[in-house]
Every structure is written in structure tokens, then in C-alpha cells.
Amino acid sequence: MDKQKTGFGPYLGLTLLIGFGFLTMGLMDPLYDTYLPLFLKRYIQSNAAVGALMTLDNILQLFLIPVIAVWSDRTRTRLGRRMPFIVVMLPLSAILFSLIPSMAALSLAFLVGIIFLFNIFKTSVRGPVVALMPDTVPAEYRSEANGMINMMGGIGLIISTLFLARLMESRILPENLPPGTLPFGIAGLCILAAVLILVLFVREKIPGGDETGDKVPVLASLDRIFRNKDGDEKRRGVGRILISLFCWFLAYEGIKPFLGLYLVEAVGTGEGSAALAQGAAGISGVVLAIPSGYLAHKIGRRRFIRICLAILTVILFILPLSKTLVVFLGLMFVYGVFWIGVVVNSFPMLWQMADFGTLGIYTGLYYTFSQTAAILAPPVTGAVIDLGGYPGLFIFGALAMLAAWFIMGGVKAGEAA
């Protein structure tokens, strides 16, 4: 097939179907990030301690995602190399996710136990879900494709924050069931439906027709990526990209777990409105995910990411000055516009440097650096809040985004062919 003549069009439908895998993450993450701190605060008073427990999933992601992603690189089955992991681990994630409110009502030990099990399966499936798209879409169209699957993730986020979260205070179910049973349960059912769609309609197919591909040894791949002895131009800048994404995820992951608490404790909203900040950012992300991919393809991924990082820095400096819920949500909407621009185009920059045998390894490296940031950030920002109040949360994020902007300036590779 002549890719120059056909463009992204032939991959549109397949990418949309793959996006249902991302939709499941969009459903789970906002409810988890918003309400787990509130569940934990029933038993724990320290924000720093809550932040430390919120890093449990990030610790698991640091170790499990690279291992499972590389494992899936080397897997060959009739279902493909990613799908076997998806059809086992996503349904288990859905079931365990649905049980979180019930365990939270019993005790801290039950709550910590269920979130540990849930994160084992949810973390293990993330790498194969993410790597499914670059397996099937050529490198030059991955910004557009990543925009589409992030749009699907954003739709899941909107469903989660603007509809399911509103059911947190609902008493439709019998009163003996704890608050949160309904939204977490509905999310679990939606995830099972998404898995069914993936199984029925997505068939893994390698661009170019190579259905086997080389099984590249892990250590040899890492040596090739970082030492770059052959001077391969397309691999230059891997380290800078990884350090940059560490910085911007340090900002994002440090702020995210405390947005719900900020709205409840500082702005004075009810728990049913605690997820509105993520919802506002999610709406703008859905609208602009696909245009971000196309625009970055046109003006350059690095340039587009740096523009987004500069504007995110300014927004985070302004956020603590907002005094009303409406202004705060408006700023979060704009924040979502430019955050999605960073997310949509950073993964394709790394994938552009990979070949078929190392896609999972590059995916694993992305998560190694992003989840290291996610582990460090919540305890730090929780301590910042304990010491100086919520304004310090946003100032910390702004400084981290600014550091990412400087580091990305030296990246020379990763553009669409």
C-alpha cells in the first residue's frame, strides 16, 4: 500500500477501535485519583501519608509496565502479541475496580488490599494496550492516531467525571451498599464491554506485512538505544525526551491526586463535584486531541510540545490566584487543551525512534520515567500542602513544566518522516 497517497484515512477505523482500550483507562483513572484520597482520609489525616499511598500504583507501574511491555514484544500467538494480555487482565481489573468502595467501607486494610490487587492487573495491561496502536499504524501517522486514542481516553474521562462521579452521592441502590458502589460498578461494566469490542473487532496486523518480526534481546536493545554506537540520527535525543517527560509528569502527577481535595477543602464544593477539575480538562482534551496530532505533524512535534509546555507553566502560576469555582474550571479547561498536546505527541516521538522489535521497550522506557515521577511527586506535593497550603501545589507544577521546556529544546530527533 502506498502510504504517501492514502494518508491516515485507512487506519482511522482501526485506531478508533483500539481507542476503546484507552477509554477503559479514562473511565478508571479519574474515579480512582479523585475518590481514593477521600476514601483514605476516612482513616488517615496526613496529606503526605495519603500521597504516599497514592503512589502504590505508580510503584507497580515502574516495575510491571516495562517487564510486561517487553514480554508482549516477544509474544507470538494467534490473537497477536498484545491481545492475550488484554483479554485476561482488563476484565480482572474491571471486577476489582468495582469492589473498591465496598472494601473502603470495611477497613483501611481491606482498602489497601483491594487497590494493591487492582493495580497489579491494571498496571500489567497498560503497556500492551498502549503498544497496540504503534503495532498497527505506520510511524508517520502516529501523532494523528495517538490523538484519536487519547480522544477516546478523554471520552472515558468525561463519562467518569461528569456522569459517574455525580452518582457518588446517589442513593438509588439499597442503603446498605456504601457510597460509590454505583459509579464504580458502572465503570466496571463499561470496561468489560470495551474488552468485548477489542476482542471481536481488532485484529493485530503489523504495518508492511511482517507478521513475525525479530525478537530483539532486551539488553541489546537498551544498549543500542542509549549508547547509539552507530550514530543513528533518529535515536539522538532519547535521553532528553525521557528527562523532559519526567519533569512534566512530576508536575502533572503531583497536582492530580489533590485536585479533588482542593475543590472540597479550599473551594468548598461537595464530594459529587470533586472530579469537575479533571472533567473540565478532559473535555478540552477530547475536542483537541486529534487536531493536536495533525498540527504537530505540520509544524514539528518538538516545537509544538514546547509551545504547550510554556503555556502550561503560565496557567499553573495563575491557578492559585483564581478565587471562584467557575474561573478555576475555566483555567483547567485551557490546561487540558495544552496538556493533551504534550501527551499526544511525546509518545510518537519515542516510537519514531523504534523499530518493530523494540516498540515495547520504548513504551516501557516511557513508563519507567513517567512513573518514577509519579512515585516521587504526590508525597512531595502533599508535604508542600501540609507546610504552605495549596498555592505551593501549583507553583511546584509550574517550575517542573518550565524545566521540561528547557530540556526539550535540545531534542533533535523524533519528528514524523
The 10s digit of each residue's pLDDT in 80-108 is 788 888 889 999 999 999 999 989 888 88
**360 belongs to a structural domain:** yes
Rounded to whole angstroms, the Cα distance separating 330 from 318 reads: 12
Q: Rounded mean pLDDT of the chain?
A: 82
**Mean pLDDT of the region 229-251:** 78
Residue 311 has pLDDT above 70, yes or no: yes
The tally of domains found in the chain comes to 1
Query: Does the residue 81 lie in any domain?
Result: yes
Determine the pLDDT at residue 221: 56
Cα separation values, 85 from 80, 89, 401, Å: 10, 6, 34
Q: Is the pLDDT of residue 29 over 70?
A: yes
CB 143 within 8 A of CB 10: no
pLDDT at residue 208 in the model? 46
Residue 269 has pLDDT above 80, yes or no: no
**In terms of pLDDT, which residue wins out, 171 or 32?**
32
Query: What's residue 189's pLDDT?
Result: 93
329 or 215, higher pLDDT: 329
Task: Please give the Cα distance from 236 to 410 (Å, whole number).
Answer: 10
For residue 95, the enclosing domain spans 9-206+215-408
Classify residue 355: in a domain, yes or no.
yes
Contacts of 241 (CB under 8 A, 6+ apart): 346, 349, 350, 408, 411, 414
**What are the DSSP calls for 229-249, one per residue?**
TT--GGGTTHHHHHHHHHHHH
Q: Do the domain assignments include residue 413?
A: no
Answer for the pair 270, 264: CB distance below 8 angstroms, yes or no: yes
Does residue 113 lie within any of the structural domains?
A: yes
- pTM (2 decimals)? 0.73
* pLDDT given for residue 217 in this prediction: 56
Domain contains 267:
yes
Per the domain annotation, does 30 fall within a domain? yes
> Is it the case that residue 4 has pLDDT exceeding 70?
no
Residue 4 lies in a domain: no
Q: Is the model's pLDDT at 326 over the cut of 90?
A: no
pLDDT of residue 1: 40
Give the CATH number, domain containing residue 135: 1.20.1250.20
pLDDT at residue 2 above 50? no
